[in-house]
């Protein structure tokens, strides 16, 4: 099969500054080679820091200015490493398009959706503004955004994380590129939209004869979408083979470990195995022990509702009911999983009970009782004290950390505000210990957020949350940006902390396999309503609602063999 893209002995190093007069370089990609065939899909998989995103960004020279590239990157026989900036600009978006991991850092916050989709259509395809707007509406419909005509006038901050990601995919596909580089394109998507996007990419690959370089830590998605798989670790290729062989007969110990780390809808182990466990030959642990059914209730939510005002015409507005009377109880040491599609209201519900939505944005009501007090009516010093006891980990690790703070400042500031620790030295020691518990070392303390991958930033965000020793955590997609091994580490950490301190979690996620592992009870939301609520094992085994069955049916299962 003819190679559309051929990467040959690619090396990427980053200049780190001079020490004693000598330039220091960090080698991120160490002489890798692979091909992307015409009308084929190649997946790059590996843990955070393996070099897979650096490899992909090297193709169009989207790396920072301190990067140095060697080797050859041949696109239709032309070496892109030798191409000028003007030549690359003509290729970007037209022949080779990219979908990046973080939608909010890729979409321009001051332009509406229509402007951002229409720009490549007018620039590269020569369409009029009216033609481009019509095509933009079609693209939004194809990637599964409801009310596409209305959404054309929306700004990125008015969309959910999953909707932002879908807009990015629409922008990338606008010109019908020959090669699409997709860097974690389904990370922020719920399972049903993820399924739609996977099917859309597969359909477009055939209709446009498009090739796909797919970067992901989700091996379930990789198994369903890819033809070839390239497994990377520490900047090197550990194994590359057809997807069938990777899943059914992996040769490298690291590949075997990656496959074994995935959470499953079947069974509930006490701990998830991580990469080092598998490579060292350790045996998996037994089933998780049952939680105390008589544990006291720490949080009781009754009739929680939240609405927003939306523009309607030039001067009018209408009320949108995002959460419609949600009720549940959360026991000490237990985890409530909240699942649903993007726009179902699950994140809005979590933020509403923490009072993180502006009252002027729309009405909010109901009761959220914690330690005998209603959080929705509490004020002053009482509310400040409660904020320490109930913490939140946000979905987007890029927006959750202050870019001007070092990691030491990020972790120590909350402890200083709430007078935790006798002095700065004790607070710093606690910060280092928490970093180590989430898989980072002391060397991270003096660095800034931009020096870390998305997965590493999310681990820092979780560590920051834990500095205040909270009793209840609201976790909004806390592991969606993490590769399978780090995901396993963080989930094991959350379970360890829960057992040690009696923490209670509200765990919001679109990954039902993760919810199966972490949650004792699951609440399923659709269009702001709770459509089903049951113990996790019971809901996974015998869902009562068609909507729940559809969510479970959309979960990627990895390579299962393909017809034809």
Q: What is the pLDDT of residues 460-517, one digit of tens each?
A: 988 898 898 899 999 998 887 677 777 888 888 888 888 888 899 999 988 888 899 9
Closest CA to 472 of 353, 560, 379, 302: 353
SS3 165: helix
Give domain status of residue 10, yes or no: no
Q: Is the pLDDT of residue 158 over 90?
A: no
Helix ranges (DSSP H) in 208-306: 219-225, 243-248, 253-260, 275-279
Give domain status of residue 410, yes or no: yes
Q: Name which of 353-362, 400-409, 416-425, 492-501 the model is least confident about.
A: 353-362
544 vs 343, residue with greater confidence = 544
Q: What is the rounded average pLDDT of the residues 245-252?
A: 92
Q: How many distinct structural domains can be found in the chain?
A: 1
Q: What confidence tier does 35 reach under pLDDT thresholds 50, 70, 90?
A: very high
Percent of the chain with pLDDT over 90: 46
SS3 319: strand
Q: What confidence tier does 408 reach under pLDDT thresholds 50, 70, 90?
A: very high
- CA distance readout (Å), 10 to 31, 478, 491, 556: 5, 33, 35, 32
**What single-letter DSSP state applies at residue 42?**
E
Closest CA to 212 of 2, 6, 39: 39
* pLDDT, position 561: 59
pLDDT tens string 198-226: 887 888 788 778 899 999 877 778 888 89
Closest CA to 372 of 382, 358, 384, 380: 382
Give domain status of residue 117, yes or no: no
Give domain status of residue 166, yes or no: no
Sequence-ordered list of residues with C-beta below 8 angstroms from that of 232, at least 6 positions apart, any chain: 32, 44, 45, 46, 50, 51, 52, 55, 238
* pLDDT, position 409: 95
Helix ranges (DSSP H) in 291-423: 346-353, 380-389, 397-400, 407-417
Q: Name which of 152-161, 188-197, 324-333, 471-480 the model is least confident about.
A: 188-197
Strand pairing category for 373-374 and 364-370 = antiparallel
pLDDT tens string 536-563: 999 999 999 999 998 888 887 777 655 4
| Residue 446 structural domain | 298-553
For residue 249, the tally of other CB atoms under 10 A from its CB is 8
pLDDT tens string 88-143: 988 998 899 998 877 777 899 999 999 999 999 998 888 899 999 999 999 998 88
Q: Is the pLDDT of residue 454 over 90?
A: no
For residue 374, the tally of other CB atoms under 10 A from its CB is 13
> Tokens in use for 74?
């041949």
Give domain status of residue 532, yes or no: yes
- CA distance readout (Å), 220 to 97, 161, 162, 356: 24, 21, 19, 34
Token pair 């994380």: residue = 161
Give domain status of residue 50, yes or no: no
pLDDT, the chain, mean: 87
Neighbour-count burial of 155, counting CB atoms closer than 10 A to its CB (0-12 exposed, 13-18 middle, 19+ buried) = middle
Q: Is the pLDDT of residue 533 over 90?
A: yes
Q: What confidence tier does 430 reach under pLDDT thresholds 50, 70, 90?
A: very high
Whether the Cβ atoms of residue 405 and residue 411 lie closer than 8 Å to each other: no
* pLDDT, position 58: 94
Q: Is the pLDDT of residue 564 over 50?
A: no
Residue 415 CA neighbour count, 13 Å, CB half: 23
Q: What is the rounded average pLDDT of the residues 524-547?
A: 93
Rounded to an integer, what distance in angstroms lies between the CA atom of residue 431 and that of residue 406? 12
Q: What confidence tier does 358 reach under pLDDT thresholds 50, 70, 90?
A: low
Give domain status of residue 53, yes or no: no
CATH number at residue 466: 3.40.50.300
DSSP H or E run through 230: strand 228-233
- CA distance readout (Å), 561 to 246, 247, 271, 558: 12, 10, 29, 9
* pLDDT, position 1: 62
């Amino acid at each position: 099969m003819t190679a559309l893209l051929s990467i040959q002995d690619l090396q990427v190093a980053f200049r780190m500054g001079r020490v004693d007069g000598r330039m220091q370089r960090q080698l991120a990609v160490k002489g890798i080679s692979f091909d992307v065939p015409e009308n084929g899909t190649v997946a790059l998989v590996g843990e955070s820091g393996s070099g897979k995103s650096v490899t992909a960004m090297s193709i169009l020279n989207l790396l920072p200015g301190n990067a140095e590239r060697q080797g050859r990157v041949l696109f239709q026989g032309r070496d892109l490493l030798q191409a000028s900036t003007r030549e690359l600009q003509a290729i970007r978006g037209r022949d080779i398009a990219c979908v990046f991991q973080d939608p909010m850092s890729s979409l321009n916050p001051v332009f509406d959706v229509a402007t951002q989709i229409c720009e490549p259509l007018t620039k590269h395809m020569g369409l009029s503004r009216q033609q481009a707007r019509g095509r933009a509406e079609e693209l939004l419909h194809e990637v599964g955004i409801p009310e596409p005509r209305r959404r054309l006038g929306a700004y990125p901050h008015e969309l959910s994380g999953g909707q932002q990601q879908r807009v990015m995919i629409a922008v990338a596909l606008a010109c019908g590129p020959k090669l699409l580089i997709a860097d974690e394109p389904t990370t922020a998507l719920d399972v049903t939209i993820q399924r739609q996007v996977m099917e859309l990419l597969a359909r477009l690959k055939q209709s446009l004869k498009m090739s796909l370089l797919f970067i992901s830590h989700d091996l379930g998605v990789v198994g369903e979408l890819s033809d070839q798989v390239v497994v990377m670790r520490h900047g090197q290729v550990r194994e590359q083979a057809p997807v069938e062989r990777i899943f059914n007969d992996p040769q490298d110990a690291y590949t075997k470990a990656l496959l074994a780390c995935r959470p499953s809808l079947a069974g509930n182990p006490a701990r998830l195995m991580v990469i080092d466990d598998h490579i060292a030959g350790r045996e998996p642990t037994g089933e998780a022990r049952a939680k105390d059914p008589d544990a006291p209730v720490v949080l009781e939510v009754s009739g929680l509702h939240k609405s927003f005002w939306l523009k309607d015409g030039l001067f009018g507005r209408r009320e949108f009911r995002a959460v419609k009377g949600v009720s549940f109880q959360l026991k000490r040491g237990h985890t409530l999983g909240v699942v649903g599609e993007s726009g179902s209201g699950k994140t809005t519900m979590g933020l509403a009970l923490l009072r993180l939505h502006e009252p002027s944005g729309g009405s909010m009501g109901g009761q959220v009782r914690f330690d005998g007090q209603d959080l929705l009516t509490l004020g002053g010093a009482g509310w400040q004290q409660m904020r320490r006891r109930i913490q939140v980990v946000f979905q987007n690790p890029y927006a959750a950390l202050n870019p001007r703070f070092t990691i030491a400042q990020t972790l120590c500031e909350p402890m200083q505000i709430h007078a935790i620790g006798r002095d700065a030295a004790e607070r710093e020691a606690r910060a280092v210990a928490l970093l180590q518990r989430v898989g980072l070392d002391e060397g991270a303390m003096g660095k800034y957020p931009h020096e870390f991958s998305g997965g590493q930033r999310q681990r820092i965000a979780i560590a920051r949350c834990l500095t205040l020793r909270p009793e209840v955590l609201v976790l909004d997609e806390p592991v969606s940006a993490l590769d399978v091994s780090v995901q396993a580490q963080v989930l094991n950490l959350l379970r360890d902390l829960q057992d040690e301190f009696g923490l209670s979690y509200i765990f919001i996620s679109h990954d039902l396999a993760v919810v199966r592992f972490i949650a004792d009870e699951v609440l399923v939301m659709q269009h702001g309503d709770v459509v089903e609520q049951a113990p996790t094992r019971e809901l996974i085994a015998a869902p009562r609602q068609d909507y729940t069955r559809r969510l479970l049916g959309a979960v990627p299962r990895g390579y299962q063999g393909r017809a034809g």
